[in-house]
Structures are given as structure tokens and as C-alpha cells.
A = this chain, B = another copy of it.
Amino acid sequence: MDAVDREIVGHLMRDGRATFAEIGSGVGLSAPAVKRRVDRMRASGHITGFTALIDPAALGWTTEAYVEIYYDGNVSATELKRSLEPIPQVVGAWTVAGNPDAIVHVMATNMAEIEQVVERMREHARVERTRSAIVMSRLFERPRSR
């Protein structure tokens, strides 16, 4: 990943459907040259894919929360992943060093659904307690990775 690759990546983050020719004219390369670089970055895992950015409200996703989880003792990251990933409303999860042990991002259609998800997480394993923050307004969110 040199400077040109980073320029290409920046362009693709701003417009994931940009044509290779368009990107090329921005970075001073021909379309095939850009394609070869993009292919290489996909193969190497630097680019993991392309996606559409959707207004969550359009999918009925109107309620959103961040939930901290406090565990009783140590729980492995892989076990956590295995228990959280099957829950479709959990759109992201991280283990952290700080007060809580993990942070979970939940998106749902309403508050009752959030509560169900939180209870489902609590049932499982060695959860000592949870602490939820309901999102009032999404100020902004920049496109990134996955």
C-alpha cells in the first residue's frame, strides 16, 4: 500500500461505484493500472468489499443503543463473538480495556426489541451486568471499514 493506493482507497470510500477510468484520472494512472491495484488490494484483504450506505430509517431501524457488558471473570474474545454474532440486531461488538469488558452496538425497530436483545445478552454466560445508552441522535458517522 503506497501513496497511490491510499489515494485510490480514498476515492473508493467516497464513491464505491466510481469507474476505474474516473479514479485513474484523479491519480494519474490508466484504468487498467487502477484495476490491477484494486484487485491486488482486494486479494490482500486491504479492501474487504463494497457496500451501499443505507438510511437506517428506510429499513425500519429507528432505535439504536450502545450497551456495555461487564463480565464476572474473564471471557475469551472468540466466545464473545460466537455468542453475539448470531443476534441480528447486534451490528457491532468490541472488547475493550476500560470500565466495561465489551461494548455492543444494537440497532432495532423499537425499544421493546432493544430490551429483548439486552435480556438475551444477559441470559448468556457470565454477564455480571449491562449498562445501556439509547441513541437520541446520530450526529454523524464516517464511512470506514468492517
Contacts and interface: CB of A to CB of B under 8 A. Distances in A.
A4 to B, nearest CB: 14
30 contacts: A6-B59, A9-B52, A12-B51, A13-B54, A15-B51, A16-B49, A45-B58, A49-B53, A49-B143, A50-B51, A50-B53, A51-B53, A53-B146, A55-B145, A61-B145, A66-B66, A77-B136, A77-B139, A80-B139, A81-B139, A84-B140, A94-B136, A96-B133, A96-B134, A98-B131, A98-B132, A98-B134, A99-B133, A141-B145, A141-B146
A55 B51 contact: no
Nearest to A78: B139
A62 B99 CA distance: 21
Stoichiometry (number of copies)? 2
A126 interface: no
A12 to B, nearest CB: 4
Interface of A: 1, 6, 9, 12-17, 41, 45-56, 58-59, 61, 64, 66, 68, 77, 80-81, 84-85, 91-100, 102-103, 105, 107, 131-146
Nearest to A92: B141
A48 B59 contact: no
Contact of A141 (B91, B100, B137, B139): B91
